[in-house]
Amino acid sequence: MTVLDTRTLPAAVPFTARSQRTRHYLMCEPRHYEVTYAINPWMDMTVAVDNERALLQWEILRNTYLSLGHRVDVIDPMPGQPDMVFAANGGLVVGGHAYGASFRHTERAAEGLAYSSWLRGSGIDVTDPEHTNEGEGDFLALGAMILAGTGFRTSLEAHIEAANVLDRPVVSLELVDPRFYHLDTAIAVLDDGNGTAPADIAYYPGAFSRHSQRTLRDLFPDAIISSEADAQVLGLNAVSDGHHVVLPSAAVNLADTLRERGYTPVPVDLGEFLKSGGSVKCCTMEMHR
């Protein structure tokens, strides 16, 4: 009789009951959204945006959040700022304080002031940045830390500045694949660890330097590893409330894996925004507690 030595088997990821927490989001209607310049590999000025379709997709995303019980505020878009729809880049809000955005490219520079003004008008204390950073595009807040991306848009100096402003430890991660120019295209925060479950993420290793891959393995040994196919449709540009994960409908394999881990995937089609290299998370700023 053969005896199976269970010590040689990989440890199973324990099933965790997922718990939703109501969130507060800020979005910007894509009234002026179009591709009029190219500042990342996704943008092609010869490919037209279907404005009516983009508005419909955005409305579906907004109504999805509302149907899940979340609060959604909307900032007025500015003419001449086609990427202002990507609200995540407008700043990082944690615990009633915000670290404002300062964009790498001049085409988006005016967005930083617009979002800071809205946040101040909503009673949030805003610190204006001295260093280049693109808000939640490169800063992902968890309960115990902030994951921070660098390599294409946000500077390392901004990581230090954010840690001082928000009084949170910041873990720097280097992005090396220009398709994943923001951290929120390569990592999805599934559970921020502010509830009963531990922090949980999904990520695509190929977007990161070897050192940063090691950091992620050490911090999140049970993380979901995304395939390149799901990452290429920006499947990781997702928004989770700890139970429901709103993600691009094209990321079918990632959705299956989420379901196996106890999450409820909520697929949405944001194909028009993929033309600018954006999707669910890009369109969504969260007011973190």
Tokens of residue 263, six digits: 């999450």
What does pLDDT average to over the chain? 94
Point out which residues pair with 102 in neighbouring strands: 133
Residues 188, 289: Cα–Cα separation, whole Å: 18
For residues 245-255, give the mean pLDDT: 98
Which residue ranges make up each domain of the chain?
A: 22-288
Catalytic residue among 28, 70, 159, 282: 282
Point out which residues pair with 247 in neighbouring strands: 267
Q: What is the per-residue pLDDT across 41-70, written as a single tens digit (0 to 9) for each?
A: 999 999 999 999 999 999 999 999 999 999
Beta carbons of 237 and 184 less than 8 angstroms apart? yes
Q: Which helix (H) or strand (E) holds 74?
A: strand 71-75
**Residue 277: left (phi > 0), alpha (psi -120 to 50), or beta?**
left
For residues 254-274, give the mean pLDDT: 98
CATH number of 22-288: 3.75.10.10
Res 187: pLDDT: 99
User: What are phi and psi for residue 73, nearest 5 degrees?
Assistant: -95, 160
In the sheet with 146-150, reading across from the earlier edge strand, the strands are 139-141, 146-150, 170-174
Q: With 0.85 as the threshold, say if the pTM is over it.
A: yes
Report CA 20 to chain centroid distance, whole Å. 18
Q: What is the per-residue pLDDT across 115-162, written as a single tens digit (0 to 9) for each?
A: 999 999 999 999 999 999 999 999 999 999 999 999 999 999 999 999
Catalytic residue among 70, 182, 243, 244: 182
What percentage of the chain reaches a pLDDT higher than 90? 93
Eight-state DSSP code of residue 276: T
Is 28 tagged catalytic? no
